[in-house]
A = this chain, B = another copy of it.
Amino acid sequence: MIPRELSETESMKLLASTPLGRLVFSEHALPAIRIVGHVVDDGDVIIRTRPTTTALAPSGTVVTYEADVIDPHTFLGWSVVVTGLAEWVTDALDVARYEEMLPRWGAAVADQVIRIRPHWITGCEFAGG
């Protein structure tokens, strides 16, 4: 299994190819992770999560988002990690549009749509050697 670094373009294309990923953030000064559904829109990662139980401020919090597809038997696949500012999406038209695009994952009621603007993008492909 040989890890190969992916370009930002390759990484974002892979991220857009899968519906689920993991939001990584600080909660009560502890590292926290939550599985959410996502879509990629014009380079931004759009997710939906419960705002009351997260430490995500409406005005923006730096978070990390990860998605991967790895075969548990061969360990071949890829992993993409982006870090950037996560902001609540408040524009009603944007919210409605993203609600349509987002995968039907988790409770839709009282969830907040959040836009992550990737600042750092890294990806790794695990290929056969």
Contacts and interface: CB of A to CB of B under 8 A. Distances in A.
B66 A20 contact: no
Contacts of A101: none
Interface residues of A, number: 31
Contacts of A1: 104-106
Q: Give chain A's interface secondary structure class.
A: strand
Number of chain copies forming the complex: 2
Contacts of A81: 33
A30 B83 contact: yes
A31 B83 contact: yes
Interface of A: 1, 3, 18-20, 22, 24-26, 30-33, 35, 62-64, 66, 68-70, 72, 75, 79, 81, 83, 103-107
